[in-house]
A = this chain, B = another copy of it.
Amino acid sequence: MSLDGYIADSNESLDFLSLVEQEGQDYGYTEFIKSVDTIIIGRKTYDKVISMGYEYPHTDKDVYIITRTERPAIGTYKYYTGNLQDLVYSIKSKPGKDIYCDGGAEIVTELLKNHLVDELIISVIPILLGNGIRLFKDGQTLQKLNLVNSKQFDRGLVQLHYKCVTN
């Protein structure tokens, strides 16, 4: 997110991320994604990635695209219209690696509300966008955090890694 808390600007653009693009620097993504076998992604975020001309390259993982409208699966990617809590409980009840919630402020909000987030990794981009789509909206639940680590990178990105404190 930007320092002022936006994950997209007021045109829903992610252009500000180019400020921290650097050849050979993936900000730990390759290592991180190895620890994951399931991805939950909001339908809007998924469509955004595809509309930007990217493939969604996680064919080796269980991918759930969260939506309100039933749609046929895309290869191994399933659209999921059910209860998000039930989905997470069900995945967590089986042995496996971590679940990665790949963006979507609505999904993150819903998961935080139900205390279903174990860890947060927030990359702070060195810009005040001034306006846009917030990751953390008003009117949410209090959640204490423990800092695991913070890391700063050449282009001024600071990555903050927290564990959610269970009460």
Contacting residue for A158 out of B4, B127, B160, CB 8 A: B160
Q: Tell me how many residues of A have a C-beta within 8 Å of chain B.
A: 35
Decide if B19 touches A144 in the complex (CB within 8 Å).
Answer: yes
Cβ < 8 Å to B, chain A residues 114-159:
120, 122, 124, 126-131, 134-136, 138-147, 149-150, 152, 156-158
- Residues of A near any B CB (own CB < 8 A): 3-5, 19, 112, 120, 122, 124, 126-131, 134-136, 138-147, 149-150, 152, 156-158, 160, 162
Integer count of this chain's copies in the complex: 2
A41 to B120, CA, bound (A): 33
B150 A128 Cβ-Cβ under 8 A: no
